[in-house]
C-alpha cells in the first residue's frame, strides 16, 4: 500500500507541472483565441464573419494557396537535399567524422532564426560578399540585388528547415542493413534502382515525419519570408500579423490562425493518403 502511494505521489510530482504547463500556456490561450475567432470585435456577439472574410476576400485565400504551394515545394526540396546528406553521414562516414558532420549541421541552429536570416542577407545583398566576389571575377559588371524575390526566399526557407528533415531521415537510415545494399550491387542493380527500391522506401517514415515538421514550420514561418522575400512575397502569417498587430483586430487574426491550423492539417492528411503512410507509423 505504501509503495502504491509512493508511486502515485511520484507520478503527481513529475507530471503535475507538465499538465499545468500545457493547460495554462497552451490549452487556455488557444481556447480564448478560439472564442475570439467566433465573436465580433465591437459587440462580442457570436458570428462566422471572421471566417467568412477569408473566403470573401481573394487576397486572403490566394495568399494562403500561394503559401501552401511554396511550403510544399520547400518541403520537397528539403527532402531531395536531405536524403544524400543523411546517406553520407549514416552509411559512408565512419567513427568520429559522422559526429563532426552532425555538429556542423547543428551549429547554425544554435543561434536564432533572425541571426541566420540576417547572415544570408549580408551575403546576398547588393553590397554583400557574393556580389563583391562575382564582380571581381568579371561575372557581373556591377552588383546585382539578389534579395527580395521568391527564389531567395525559398533558399532561405530550405536552409532554416534542413535540420528537421536530416535528423529523422538519419534515424531510420541507421536501421537499414548495409548487406541489403551490398547484395543489390552484387546482383547488378544500378544506383538509381537501389535508391528507388530499397533506400527511399525504407526511409519513407522518416521522410514523412520530417516532411510534416518542415511543412508546418515553413507554413507558419514569418521572419524568413518577410525579410528575404520582401514586400512582394506575400505569406499567410503576415496576414495574421497585420490583423493583430497593425489593425488590432484580434478576432480576425484568431480566425485566420485557426484556419491556418485546419487547412494545414487537411493538406497533411491528404499527403499522408497520397503517400499511403499512416500517422501512427510516422510517429513511431
The string of pLDDT tens digits covering residues 168-213 is 999 899 888 888 888 888 888 888 998 999 999 888 888 988 999 9
Residue 126 makes CB contacts below 8 A (sequence gap 6+) with 143, 144, 145, 146, 147
Q: Give the integer Cα–Cα distance in Å for 222 and 226.
A: 6
| Per-residue pLDDT tens over the stretch 74-119 | 999 999 999 999 999 888 887 788 888 888 888 878 888 888 888 8
Predicted TM-score (pTM) of the model is 0.86
**pLDDT (tens digit, 9 = 90+) per residue, 31-49?**
888 888 999 877 778 888 8
Q: Which helix (H) or strand (E) holds 47?
A: none
Neighbours of 89 (CB within 10 A): 22
Give, in degrees to the nearest 5, the angle at Cα 238 between 37 and 46.
10
pLDDT of residue 92: 86
From CA 64, how far away is CA 48, in angstroms rounded? 19
Supply the Cα-derived Rg of the chain in whole angstroms. Answer: 24
For the chain, which domains are there? 1-37 (no CATH), 48-283 (1.10.3720.10)
Which positions ≥6 away from 221 have C-beta within 8 Å?
157, 160, 235, 237
Task: Please give the pLDDT value at position 3.
Answer: 53
Amino acid at each position: 500500500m505504501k509503495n502504491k502511494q509512493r508511486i502515485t505521489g511520484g507520478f503527481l510530482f513529475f507530471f503535475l507541472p507538465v499538465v499545468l504547463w500545457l493547460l495554462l500556456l497552451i490549452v487556455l490561450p488557444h481556447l480564448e483565441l478560439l472564442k475570439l475567432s467566433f465573436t465580433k470585435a465591437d459587440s462580442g456577439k457570436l458570428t462566422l464573419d471572421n471566417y467568412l472574410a477569408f473566403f470573401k476576400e481573394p487576397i486572403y485565400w490566394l495568399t494562403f494557396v500561394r503559401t501552401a504551394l511554396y511550403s510544399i515545394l520547400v518541403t520537397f526540396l528539403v527532402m531531395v537535399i536531405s536524403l544524400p546528406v543523411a546517406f553520407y553521414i549514416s552509411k559512408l562516414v565512419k567513427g568520429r567524422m559522422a559526429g563532426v558532420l552532425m555538429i556542423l549541421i547543428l551549429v547554425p541552429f544554435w543561434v536564432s532564426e533572425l541571426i541566420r536570416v540576417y547572415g544570408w542577407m549580408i551575403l546576398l545583398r547588393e553590397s554583400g560578399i557574393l556580389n563583391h566576389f562575382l564582380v571581381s571575377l568579371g561575372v557581373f559588371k556591377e552588383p546585382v540585388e539578389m534579395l527580395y524575390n521568391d527564389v531567395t526566399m525559398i533558399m532561405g526557407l530550405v536552409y532554416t528547415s534542413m535540420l528537421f528533415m536530416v535528423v529523422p531521415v538519419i534515424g531510420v537510415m541507421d536501421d537499414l542493413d548495409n548487406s541489403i545494399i551490398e547484395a543489390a550491387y552484387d546482383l547488378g542493380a544500378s544506383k538509381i534502382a537501389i535508391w528507388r527500391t530499397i533506400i527511399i522506401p525504407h526511409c519513407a517514415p522518416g521522410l514523412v515525419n520530417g516532411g510534416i515538421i518542415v511543412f508546418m514550420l515553413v507554413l507558419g514561418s514569418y521572419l524568413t519570408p518577410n525579410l528575404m522575400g520582401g514586400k512582394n512575397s506575400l505569406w499567410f502569417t503576415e496576414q495574421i500579423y497585420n490583423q493583430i498587430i497593425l489593425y488590432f483586430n484580434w478576432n480576425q487574426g484568431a480566425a485566420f490562425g485557426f484556419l491556418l491550423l485546419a487547412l494545414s492539417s487537411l493538406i497533411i492528411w491528404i499527403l499522408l493518403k497520397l503517400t499511403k503512410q499512416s500517422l501512427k507509423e510516422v510517429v513511431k
